[in-house]
Structure formats: structure tokens, C-alpha cells
Amino acid sequence: MPLDRHARALLDLQAMTGFKGFDAMPVAEARAATAARTAETPRAEVARVEDRTTPGGVPIRLYWPEAGGPPRPLLVFSHGGGWVVGNVETVDHSCRTLANASGCVVASVDYRLSPEHTFPAAADDAYEAYRWLRSEAGSIGVDPGRVAVGGDSAGGNLALVSCLKARELGEPMPAFQLLIYPVVDASCSSASYAECGTGFGLTAEAMRYYWRQYLARPEDGEHPLASPLRADLAGLPPAFVLSAEYDPLRDEVEELARRLRSGGVPTTLRRFDGQIHGFFHLGHIIPDGARALDEAAAALRTALDAPPLGGTAAAAK
């Protein structure tokens, strides 16, 4: 279908202001620009917010949708940004909304970024956060048997890799995966890279740039914990996978969903036609972003049997 008019307006504004992409900036400048873009995003109130750090030094921000009540499910969420930009602040608005809409406690992971810390540093941090949070379930007020992992773009990669690492190590796997247009193949060779590689925000060249920052050596991209599309996906947790029509990642994301299904993994694939990469966090300017977040929250509620919210966010931070 045609490009969504709200997405088109955003792209036109970026073109008018001369925005060339974060890959065209020095890393420090790109990080500052990413932070500035989200600083004024509307943020929902939640019952409680707390910053913690794992024993290994991984910062985590926790969001509770309600104070007290029965143990709730937990979503361990890793932000996108090509493993190069982004942090817990840049997804603060989405994590708050996800917590309220899903009834889950949300834990946002501030993993180490590239190029200072190359593969597998981010994957190790995401997995450490998952494992530690599960072990600390009692103090957090969550059910250790209902812990999901999720993320968008590079963060979706880390969520999926956390499932693979848990299986590899013989440790309890997450109960569910929330994969928002995840990066899963370092080859950058699918047809959608050619079809959607320019003119739709995220470019094919930008993705290649992000992979170059993340991988210490090009051959590391062949590792299944870097490119999980190359992994054996059988036996992984049920998944909700979201793709966008005008996204260079579209084909690898949808191929991931097919391979999960062929491996016996219950998988829901939801393509948002007319949409671009990144729209999930832009519900305040792209209505489909709000709809996508609502659908993701509904998938979490259903999969994790989240209890209804019985109180208010009056104690909001």
C-alpha cells in the first residue's frame, strides 16, 4: 500500500531540515541527536520507576504499572539504535506505555554500545540482565515463570539472542519473545534492502554501517548469536514478530517468523503496511505507532496472563 501519510510527513520534514542519518554523524553527535529527539516526547505516568544495576554492572530501569498487588509478569526490553545509539532515556516513553498497557513490569536494559564495545558485549549484557532479573523476581514483585524478552531493531536481535543463550547454557528460557522489526542477518542482502534501501528513513547503507560498528571482524556476522537467522530456532519461546512494509529489514524479519514457525515455535507475524522502520516509538506523531504498541501490549497480556490493573498511577514518578 502507499506510504503512510504521517510517515511521509516525517520523512519530508527530515529532508527539509537536511537530516542525513545518524550514520553520517560522529558517534557522540549521533547519540546526542538521538537523545534530543526523544527528550520532549510525551511520557505516561506509572506507579513507580527505579534504576538498578546488575552485579556485572549492567544498568536497568524498572517500570511498575501498579503499586502492590499480585506478582506480575516481567518484560526485559532492549532498545534499538544499531547497537550504537540509544539508551534507557530514548525509550522511556515507550516502556512506560508498555507497562501500563500490558500490565507487566518492564525492565529497560542499558547495554554497552558499539564501537567501544563490539559483539558480543551487548548480547552478554542483555542476557545478564534477563538472568539477574529472573533471579531477583521476588524483590521486584514479578513471577519468575512469566518473564518475557523483547526489543526493537538491534534490541530485538538481543532479545532473540537471549533465548538462544539460555537454551545453549541449559538455563530457563524466557516465556515469550516480543520482537519489533529485529535485526537478524548481517548479510544485508535481502530483496527489501534493494526495494527500501533509500528514501524511507533507515537506509541500507546505514544498516551496513551499524553492522560494521557492532562486529569486531566481518566474519563475526556469521555467528548465530550475531545473526540469529543462521541459528537453529527450534524449541524457542512463542513469539510476536512485527515488521514494517517500507523497511530494509522487512524480508529478514518475515523470514525469521517463517523459520520460527517451521521450528515449531508458535509465532504471530504482524506486518504494518505503509510503515517505516522506527515507527513503533513514534505513536505521538504516527498513529500506527500507537496501534503497534497496543497490539504488542495485548500480545504480552495474553501470552503472560497479566492480571488487570486494580489501582491507579497516583504515586507516579
Q: Which residues pair with 177 in a beta bridge?
A: 149, 239
Whether the Cβ atoms of residue 316 and residue 34 lie closer than 8 Å to each other = no
**3-class secondary-structure state, position 117:** coil
Distance between CA atoms of 7 and 21, rounded to whole angstroms?
Answer: 16
Query: φ, ψ for residue 29 (rounded to 5)?
Result: -65, -40
Q: Of 276, 213, 207, 206, which is closest to residue 24 (Cα–Cα)?
A: 206
**Count of positions (residues) in the chain:** 317
Catalytically active residues are 153, 247, 277
What is the layout of strands, in order, in the sheet containing 105-109? 48-53, 59-64, 105-109, 72-78, 142-152, 176-180, 239-246, 267-276
Place of cell 514483585: 141
Which string of DSSP letters, residue by residue, matches 186-241? TT--SHHHHHSSSSSSS-HHHHHHHHHHH-SSGGGGGSTTTSGGGS--TTPPPEEE
- Report the SS3 class of residue 62: strand
87 vs 34: CA distance, rounded Å: 9
- Pairwise CA distance, residues 123 & 161, whole Å: 7
